[in-house]
């Protein structure tokens, strides 16, 4: 059994797919560098990302499963599940062997797993778009700290860029240690955030801009005033707003 390691980029994974055909590797597993792999009866190889090889795989997938299919593959890959690369490789091999779009064949285990994983990531994306709350800092930047189950920052970027195009904002993923900064012109990924902006529980109170505390109190008071105790349905509420997202909501603090 061969274990192929790559740098953790999507292009790197596509390079691995290309080389699995180039060198005719049949029995293999794909993992990101840094993940522990079995040492007994295995062979480990590190694959260097090659953009040209990745583009050739991308073009082949575009012909077979279309742009929508590639997005499903990319979305599932963002789940960061340990075996997702093996699932993706299984789907790609199935599509190439069949010479057609196979993503509707849910009887195939890899296709089903890909679909279910992409659906879970998509659900997390929508919840981040709904529950992210910005707080104004002293520098005039609307800042938010998130901790999603999956790597959804690349998926939520278009939503926030379009919706908050007239504001400078910064969304930081505390689990993966990188974020998106929008400067009124373009959004870019950054892997640095000033320590003065964050604390163990999210945005540092010392980073708040003038009036931010007042705005939070006003919103919390509004939430309380519109609540009707007699119509409280905690079970239904938790179904729509799971407790793990409450840490993002001012009204829940």
Cα dihedral angle (15, 16, 18, 22), rounded to 10 degrees?
Answer: 130
- Which among 158, 160, 124 is positioned nearest to 143, based on CA atoms? 160
Neighbours of 174 (CB within 10 A): 15
DSSP per residue, 159-173: HHHHHTTTS-EEEEE
Low-confidence ranges of the chain (pLDDT < 50): none
Per-residue pLDDT at 34 = 84
- Which among 132, 133, 137, 134 is positioned nearest to 206, based on CA atoms? 137
Per-residue pLDDT at 188 = 94
CA quadruple 187, 214, 219, 249: dihedral sign: positive
DSSP state of 242: -
Per-residue pLDDT at 197 = 65
Per-residue pLDDT at 221 = 65
**What is the enclosing helix (H) or strand (E) of 144?**
strand 142-146
Per-residue pLDDT at 226 = 74
Per-residue pLDDT at 191 = 87
Per-residue pLDDT at 21 = 95
Per-residue pLDDT at 213 = 67
Per-residue pLDDT at 137 = 83
| Helices 109-131 and 153-163, axial angle in degrees (round to 10) | 40
- Which among 175, 176, 180, 161 is positioned nearest to 244, based on CA atoms? 175
Q: What is the 3-state secondary structure (H, E, C) of 62-106?
A: HHHHHHHHHHHHHHHHCCCCCCHHHHHHHHHHHHHHHCCCCCCCC
């Amino acid at each position: 059994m061969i274990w192929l390691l790559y740098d953790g980029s999507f292009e790197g994974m596509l390079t691995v797919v290309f080389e699995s055909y180039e060198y005719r590797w049949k029995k293999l597993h794909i993992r990101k560098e840094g993940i522990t792999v079995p040492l007994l009866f295995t062979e480990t190889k590190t694959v260097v990302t090659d953009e040209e090889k990745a583009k050739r795989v991308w073009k082949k997938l575009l012909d077979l499963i279309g742009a929508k299919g590639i997005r499903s593959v990319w979305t599932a890959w963002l789940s960061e599940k340990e075996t997702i690369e093996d699932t993706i490789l299984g789907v790609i091999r199935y599509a190439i062997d069949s010479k057609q779009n196979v993503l509707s064949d849910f009887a195939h285990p890899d296709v089903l797993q890909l679909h279910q994983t992409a659906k879970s990531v998509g659900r997390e994306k929508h919840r981040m778009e709904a529950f992210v709350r910005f707080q104004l800092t002293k520098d005039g930047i609307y800042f938010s700290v998130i901790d999603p189950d999956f790597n959804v920052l690349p998926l939520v970027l278009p939503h926030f860029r379009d919706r908050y195009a007239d504001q400078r904002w910064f969304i930081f993923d505390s689990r993966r240690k990188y974020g998106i900064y929008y400067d009124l012109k373009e959004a870019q990924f950054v892997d640095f955030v000033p320590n003065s902006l964050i604390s163990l529980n999210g945005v540092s109170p010392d980073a708040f801009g003038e009036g931010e505390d007042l705005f939070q109190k006003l919103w919390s008071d509004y939430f309380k005033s519109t609540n009707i105790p007699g119509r409280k349905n905690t079970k239904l509420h938790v179904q729509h707003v799971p407790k793990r997202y409450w840490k993002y909501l001012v009204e829940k603090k």
